[in-house]
Amino acid sequence: MSDCIFCKLANGEIPTNTVYEDENYRVIMDANPANPGHALVLPKKHGKDIFELDSDTVAGAHAVAKKVAEAAVEVLKADGVNILQNNGEAAGQTVSHFHIHVIPRFKKDWPAMPLHQAAVTEEETKKICADLAAAIK
């Protein structure tokens, strides 16, 4: 998909903070993080949502999300992690290329905060990105 921003990010056409990459996936830092360390798992293959992608690609994306969640607990000392995946405008999907949100959560967030943009500097994001990248097994 030549006009898809996440295709360009996933396939390295546009450089971005990368937490993890393998043959089929790239994990990037969300540009408007709901919390420090908010990451997005992007398949390199285009499919606009879960319905358009084959199950192996969807399952593989969740296996990658698990690795990132484990790194977030280890590195950021997250008390919990939200793994979210929106399909369609009605479900809150704003970018039409399947992606999984991995959002570190902390006890201080309680009572459960609605997701909104956190104040995280580019420098903090770069540091977190590098620390997570190093922790992913």
Does the protein bind ligand 5GP through residue 1 (CB under 6 A)?
no
**99 is an active site residue:** yes
**Which pair of structure tokens corresponds to residue 51?**
């319905």
Does the protein bind ligand 5GP through residue 92 (CB under 6 A)?
yes
**Which pair of structure tokens corresponds to residue 93?**
């999907």
Sheet of 100-105, strand order: 18-21, 25-29, 39-43, 100-105, 80-84
Of 95 and 118, which CB lies nearer to ligand 5GP in the complex structure? Answer: 95
Would residue 92 be called left, alpha or beta, if left means φ above 0 and alpha means ψ between -120 and 50 degrees? Answer: left
Partner that binds at residue 31, options ligand 5GP, Zn ion, none, CB closer than 5 to 8 Å by kind? ligand 5GP
- Least distance (Å) between residue 57 CB and Zn ion: 12
Of 52 and 131, which CB lies nearer to Zn ion in the complex structure? Answer: 52
- Residues annotated catalytic, as ranges: 99
